[in-house]
Amino acid sequence: MGVDVRLAARLVVRLVARPVSRKVCQLLCHPPTPRRSGPVRPPRQDGIVLLILLAVVGLGAATLLISALGNNNLQAARERRTLLALTRANDALLGFATVYGRLPRPALSALDGSENPAPCGDSDSACTGFLPWVTLGIEGADSWGKLLRYSVTPVFTRAPVQSLSAVAGKTVRTRLPGGAFSYLAGQDICTLSSPCAPFVVYSSGKNNFGTSVAGAAQANVARGNVDEAANNAASVHFISRVASAERALPGGEFDDLVAWVALPMLYKRMRAAHNLP
């Protein structure tokens, strides 16, 4: 059977002129990329590692901050409790004076909170020691477990107190920003017309000096804390100022807490109880 050459030519022309399908074009124009024969590497994770590292560092900083705040809050709470103990001591001393017509002498010792029965005479040193907590019926320690200290003008430990001749002799000073002293109670010379404080009660604070309720003396481990050292040795002149751990400040680091009562307040309470001539 013969082939019509002209018919065959027309068929070829039609096939060539027809548009190529999209799928065929994709195969011809964009052949698939050959697959690699090696292992497939996972995407890089540097960003995730950095985020985890930042989270760990942030958690550590937050822990330190919370710990510091917790310590500061604990310290502040103990200071408040100690100030409350000093206030109660002042009230108890005033109450004692209204009943007995005089102020008590210091305690017998660190282990015996009863009032020392021996007279102080005229010695401020003999009238300086520990608060007689048993006689007063109160707690005798601060919130750090140290006994409260007490110093009283000797003449006020003898009944009846002679208000027309008794001179209150305790002074309390603070430091001005430049380091100079300024009086909070009393002045350079205590007189009948310009009296100082009749007594002082104080806590040695958390650090340095003081005596524990077990009778153990706490050593001074600081340097340059001359104001704390002055209070520890004082029997007449005491220092009260804002607590600070800065050694470079005038007077050095300081955390003592000092309280006193003005003489007019003592006399007012005693007169109300008819125990003051």
Q: What is the pLDDT of residues 233-255, one digit of tens each?
A: 999 999 999 999 999 999 999 99
CB count in 10 Å sphere of residue 226: 14
Preceding amide of 264 cis, omega within 30:
no
Instruction: Tell me the CA distances in angstroms from 191 to 58, 186, 194, one per residue in order.
Output: 62, 9, 5
Q: Is the pLDDT of residue 106 over 80?
A: yes
Residues 209 and 229: beta-carbon distance below 8 Å: yes
22 pLDDT tier (thresholds 50, 70, 90): low
CA atoms within 13 A on the CB side of 80: 6
Mean pLDDT of 197-220: 97
Preceding amide of 277 cis, omega within 30:
no
| Overall pTM surpassing 0.95 (yes/no) | no
Mean pLDDT of 94-109: 98
57 pLDDT tier (thresholds 50, 70, 90): low
Query: Using the 8-state DSSP alphabet, how is residue 202 labeled?
Result: E
Residues 179 and 123: beta-carbon distance below 8 Å: no
Residues sharing a CB contact under 8 Å with residue 269, sequence separation 6 or more, in sequence order: 94, 95, 97, 98
Mean pLDDT of 83-92: 98
pLDDT one-digit tens code per residue, 164-193:
999 999 999 999 999 999 999 999 999 999
Query: Would you state the pLDDT for residue 114?
Result: 98
Q: In the numeric block, which tokens belong to residue 15? A: 């096939």
Cα–Cα distance between 89 and 26 in angstroms, integer?
A: 98
Query: Would you state the pLDDT for residue 46?
Result: 62
Instruction: Tell me the CA distances in angstroms from 248 to 131, 225, 244, 245, 252, one per residue in order.
Output: 32, 10, 10, 9, 6
Q: For residues 17 and 144, which has the higher predicted lDDT (pLDDT)?
A: 144
> If DSSP codes are grouped into helix, strand and coil, which group holds residue 8?
helix
Residues 106 and 128: beta-carbon distance below 8 Å: yes
Query: Would you state the pLDDT for residue 50?
Result: 66
- Rg (alpha carbons) of the chain, rounded to whole number: 43
- Of the candidates 96, 227, 126, 245, the residue with the CA atom closest to the CA atom of residue 172: 227
CB count in 10 Å sphere of residue 34: 6
277 pLDDT tier (thresholds 50, 70, 90): confident
Q: Is the pLDDT of residue 54 over 50?
A: yes
Mean pLDDT of 142-171: 97
Average pLDDT over all residues of the chain = 85
Cα–Cα distance between 48 and 43 in angstroms, integer?
A: 11
Q: For residues 36 and 73, which has the higher predicted lDDT (pLDDT)?
A: 73
pLDDT one-digit tens code per residue, 60-87:
555 555 544 556 789 899 999 999 999 9
**What proportion of the chain, given as a percentage, has pLDDT over 70?**
75
131 pLDDT tier (thresholds 50, 70, 90): very high
Cα–Cα distance between 4 and 233 in angstroms, integer?
A: 136
Mean pLDDT of 140-165: 97
Q: Is the pLDDT of residue 33 over 50?
A: yes
Cα–Cα distance between 253 and 250 in angstroms, integer?
A: 9
Mean pLDDT of 45-52: 66
Q: In the numeric block, which tokens belong to residue 48? A: 């995730």
CB count in 10 Å sphere of residue 157: 23
Cα–Cα distance between 236 and 172 in angstroms, integer?
A: 9
Query: Would you state the pLDDT for residue 35?
Result: 55
Cα–Cα distance between 170 and 183 in angstroms, integer?
A: 11
